[in-house]
Chains A and B, each alone.
Chain A
Amino acid sequence: MKIVCNDYAAYGKIHAVLQVLNHAPKPTEPETIPKDDGVGSSNSNGDFLPAVAGNKLADAWDQSYYDWAANIAWKTLSLVTSFTDDQTKRDRDEALIHTGKNSGDGLTVFEEYRGFKLGGGHMRLNPEKKDVFVFSALESRSIGSANGLGLYVHSILADECIPGTGEYDPDPPHLNFCSVGGKKHTAVWVVPLRYGADRAIHWNTKSLAFTPDGRKRCVILEDKLLLMEWSGERSVAIGHEVGHAIELEHHSPE
């Protein structure tokens, strides 16, 4: 029996029924697709990795993140217990980032499991890390980050999100419009701002985050950016302003 899988998070059950003439039908036990019976297995190191039955997430995925539990820090947080909740539960990245105002990345365990189209391919995400999606329309496509932030910055392509209708459209670009919850996940949309285009901008700033109404938008003063001769410096500048766009406080005295 050939079955086509049409989604990265599809779930179902299958059973077969044998019918012999003059006998009652004989069904098999149903099998979940994907395997979701919670029967764990051992990894190559001989460590037993448990899985969660009936959470509609592949046991293999459950186990891949139990593997992360080999990290001492995770063991101390008893995350195995928290992961037995249903997949609507927010993932394990709820802690505040440094001095940031937002906890977590807004994605549920299920959404991280289902994954996203990122950079031309599909990727499941790590429920233990905060994820930020960024499209940069600037010359330099590289987006800087900083060590120790605990952030995964995913560079996405323009057609992997649904952008607003214009550069200053307050409607943010939507990533994964089929996401659960009617809650559209937004991407940071890095756009260039040419000198003199907007008097409201503080001109002495080489680049800045622009978040009208709390929307995630990062506007970079392109002229200032182009003055940076080293591409790495430009990358750092973009990453810095992306941090502002997600309300991190890089300049905090802490």
Chain B
Amino acid sequence: MRKIDERETFLRKLRANRAKSALTALFLVLALASVALMRGHTAAPLDPEQPINGGNNNPSNPPPYPITLSPPDEWEGWMPTATETIVFTAVADISHPGEASVTFHLSEVTSYKGRYMNDEDWKNHQGTDLYFAPAEDQQTKYGNKITWSGGARSRQLSKPAGRQGLSDRLRSL
């Protein structure tokens, strides 16, 4: 009789442990599924219209934040002059209090390859004197990619410079 009681007790404990294990496994599976779903969400392409977390902090100025690039003054009549420095200005209105940065990218920087130019002559042009380039004090390890970094709260990230007296400015409203 005593042996039967001991066996029943053992079986009850065994069933209880199995139920706990199943429940644990179920939670584990749900947790993993949640993580997978979250990862799937963040891997989706970023949409400049929609902030990912936190919603829109300022409905009056929703993203995408406007950014404009302005050439120097008197741009209509401007022609390239060797050693002259010109200034481009980017202005972005950002109401989101998060971190923001603006990068400038120079591309297709060249002079000219004429139909009469042979390869050797063209090679001699490369990297010599036929380019626009970032001013020396703005050159970085990125080469032609100039990066401003700083919080959107920074009203002015660099001093006005250049003959046009324009400033590089990232404006936060």
Contacts and interface: CB of A to CB of B under 8 A. Distances in A.
Contacts of B38: none
A183 B115 CA distance: 11
A36 to B, nearest CB: 11
DSSP majority for the A interface? mixed
Contacts of B106: 3, 12-14
Interface in A23-61: 23-26, 28-31, 33-35, 41, 56, 58-61
Interface in B77-96: 77-90, 92, 94, 96
Given A14-B105, A14-B106, A35-B71, A23 B63 contact: yes
Contacts of B120: 182
B40 interface: no
B83 A6 contact: yes
Nearest to A178: B125
Contact of A20 (B69, B96, B107, B138): B96
A200 interface: no
Interface string A57-78: 0111100000000000000000
Contacts of A41: 76
A121 to B, nearest CB: 11
Interface in B12-35: none
Contacts of A12: 106-110, 131-132
B164 to A, nearest CB: 10
Interface residues of B, number: 74
A106 to B, nearest CB: 10
B99 interface: yes
B133 A23 contact: no
B135 A19 contact: no
Interface in B49-66: 51-54, 63-65
Interface residues of A, number: 51
15 contacts: A2-B85, A4-B133, A4-B136, A6-B129, A8-B79, A12-B132, A13-B107, A16-B90, A16-B104, A20-B96, A23-B52, A31-B69, A58-B78, A108-B116, A180-B113
A20 B168 contact: no
Contacts of B85: 2-5
B161 A2 contact: yes
B25 to A, nearest CB: 35
Given A4-B136, A17-B104, 4 more contacts: A4-B133, A8-B80, A23-B48, A29-B69
A182 B103 CA distance: 38
Contacts of A13: 106-109
A30 B90 CA distance: 12
Nearest to B104: A1
A18 interface: yes
B114 A88 contact: yes
A155 interface: no
Nearest to B130: A7
A15 interface: yes
Contacts of A8: 79-82
Nearest to B98: A21
Contacts of B98: 20-22
